Structure 1
Amino acid sequence: MKRTLSALAKNKPGVLADIATEFSKSEANILSLAAGETEQAEISRIVIRLEGNDAAIDDAEQTLKNLDAIIQIDDLSRKDFVDRELVMIKIAMSPGNTGQLMQIFEVFRANVVGMGQETITVELSGDQERIEGLIQMLVPYGIKSLCRSGMIALKRGDE
């Protein structure tokens, strides 16, 4: 099962290492981890996408709540939330496939951010399904390199 946790933590050195250490003790696997400052510079939001059984994730979540740096933790999987991820992809380009690639980029609303003699680099932000869809469409053209940001997420509504 996959779950998404969102934690507010004190913005100080070692917090991500502490979180990773706690999950390394459990049977939950971190699929994605993204962290950054919030509207308050002294607080960071950490979004963790996990895979594992419910008991392992629940145990790890409880352990995280006991860390001094953790202010609050929410299991977004049990709430309505919006998520996004950024991907940058460098694809092999030739005169014969440039038009096809541009059509794919247009369909997915991906932005060209770099171009060389033999490659083209695009970026796309969206939910994981959209990101995966673009990647699958580009595999036949030859992905030279790829970098994903990891999921970021917020609860929907006024909460």
Structure 2
Amino acid sequence: MIHTISALVKNRPGVLAEMAGRFGSSQVNIRSISCGETENPEVSRMVISVEADDDAVTAITSDMESLDVVIQVDDLGRKEFVDRELVLAKLTMDRETTTQLMQIFEVFRAHVVGMGQETITVELSGDQERVDGFIQMVAPFGIRSLCRSGRIALKRGDD
């Protein structure tokens, strides 16, 4: 099962490595991890997406909560949340495919951020299903390079 874990941590050197190490020592693979400052520059939010059973995630989140650099940990899979991911894709382009690609960009609301003689670079943000769908649609045209940010997420509502 995919779990999305959100952790507020003190913004200090080595915290990201220490947190990631907790998953490795528990033999849990991190599918994506993103970390950045919050509204308070002394605090960062780390969003970690893992594929693991409930018991493993409970053990890891309990372990994380015991660390002095951790302020709060939430397993968002047990709550309502909104998530997004950013993807940058450099695609092969020629005269015959430009119109088709532009139609796909319009449907997915992707934005052109760069062009070369033979390539076009686009950005898209959305939930994982939208990003996966976009990649599946443009893959036949030729993906030269691709970068995904990993999932970021927040709880819904007033919590």
Whole-angstrom distance in 2 between the partners of 1:154 and 1:35:
13
Whole-angstrom distance in 1 between the partners of 2:91 and 2:62:
42
Give the 5 Å matches for 1:1-159: 1-159=1-159
Number of residues of Structure 1 aligned to a counterpart in Structure 2: 159
Q: CA deviation at 1:54?
A: 1.6
- Give 3-state SS (helix, strand or coil) of 2:137's partner: helix
Give the RMSD, CA atoms, in angstroms: 0.7
- Which sections of structure 2, spanning at least 5 residues, go unmatched? none
Whole-angstrom distance in 2 between the partners of 1:73 and 1:34:
15
- Give 3-state SS (helix, strand or coil) of 1:13's partner: coil
Per-residue CA distance 1:57-95 (angstroms, 9 max, x = gap): 211111111111000001110000000010000000011
Whole-angstrom distance in 1 between the partners of 2:54 and 2:26:
11
Per-residue CA distance 1:21-75 (angstroms, 9 max, x = gap): 1110113211010101101010000000010122222111111111110000011
Query: Is the CA contact (8 Å cut-off) linking 1:9 and 1:69 kept in structure 2?
Result: yes
Per-residue CA distance 1:95-133 (angstroms, 9 max, x = gap): 100000000000000000000000000000110000000
Q: Normalised by the size of structure 1, how large is the TM-score? A: 0.98
Whole-angstrom distance in 1 between the partners of 2:35 and 2:50:
15
Identical columns (%): 62
